[in-house]
Amino acid sequence: MPVGQAPRTGRRPVPAVRHQLSEMVASHVREAIMIGELRAPDYIRTEHLAAELGISATPVREALMILHSEGAVRWEPRRGFRVLPITAQDVADLFAVQAHIAGELAARAARALDDAEIERLQRIQTRLEAAARDRDAEQVDRLNHEIHRTINRSSASHRMTSLLSLTVHYVPLGFFGTIEGWAEASAHDHSAVFDALRAHDADAARDAMAEHIRHIGRLLIDHLKSHDVLSEPTSGNRPAHQT
């Protein structure tokens, strides 16, 4: 047992227990994969990770189940969970799908949003652009989320929204703040989306949003490339699911 400080009742090593451990661990692992700390064919051992985090194996296992169904790790029953490789193609595909979904939702929002809500969004966008100029990445991240969340909720398309969040979760919260050029891109691309929303032009909104997402995807690929996180495209077969 390397660390193994078993937390007794009443005292916890984790600071604030607002979210559940499973979610926290899932985020932790997503981030570890994203920064290349956990790499392609590694097994993630539940007990080890649990000891590292000062918790028990149960929530770790739950987190890995989630990550498995998200496609970030593969579950080999009675063997363990292992990290799946990330190729540039994978990221591009993920964002292509995300662009498709987000585009459709933006199109619906263009029909559904009334002018007052668009006005409110516009004010958030103005703040976002200011934050982008100030290089306040965290603030940009927050405002960006607020904008996308509002657009998606207005579409009232629950199922599609949940598919979207699934692809969005792939990139850990706050990660974009660390990417060169992201804040500027976000500030810039949104203006085209807003033009379309104001005109209630569904097709234009779809195109603008989709292009925005693909743009972000390209930035992410560049970032991952330069940080040597991506795997080579594998010619062989390493299916993520047995389907």
List contacts with DNA (CB under 7 A).
6-10, 12, 17, 20-22, 43-48, 50, 54-59, 61-62, 75, 77-81
Distances (CA, A) of 192 to 98, 100, 122, 195, 206: 18, 17, 12, 5, 10
Structure tokens of 186? 């976000």
Q: Which is nearer to a copy of itself, 126 or 234 (CB)?
A: 234
Minimum CB–partner distance for residue 89 and DNA (Å)? 28
Q: Is 196 in the site for a copy of itself (CB under 8 A)?
A: no
Minimum CB–partner distance for residue 126 and DNA (Å)? 36
> Could you say which of a copy of itself, DNA, none residue 81 binds, taking C-beta under 5 to 8 angstroms by partner kind?
DNA
Decide if 221 contacts 134 (C-beta within 8 A): no
Minimum CB–partner distance for residue 158 and a copy of itself (Å)? 5
Minimum CB–partner distance for residue 3 and DNA (Å)? 12
Q: Which is nearer to a copy of itself, 152 or 195 (CB)?
A: 152
Distances (CA, A) of 13 to 30, 31, 81: 21, 20, 25
* Pairwise CA distance, residues 13 & 6, whole Å: 10
Q: Which of 25, 55, 84, 121 binds a copy of itself (CB under 8 A)?
A: 84
* Pairwise CA distance, residues 64 & 53, whole Å: 14
**Segment interacting with a copy of itself, rule: CB under 8 A, options 32-40, 117-125, 136-144, 235-243:** 235-243
Distances (CA, A) of 90 to 23, 71, 153, 204, 231: 24, 11, 27, 27, 10
Report how many residues bind a copy of itself under the rule CB under 8 A: 55
Q: Which is nearer to a copy of itself, 153 or 218 (CB)?
A: 153
Q: Which of 42, 47, 62, 211 binds a copy of itself (CB under 8 A)?
A: 62
Decide if 151 contacts 196 (C-beta within 8 A): no
- In the 8-state DSSP scheme, what is residue 4? -
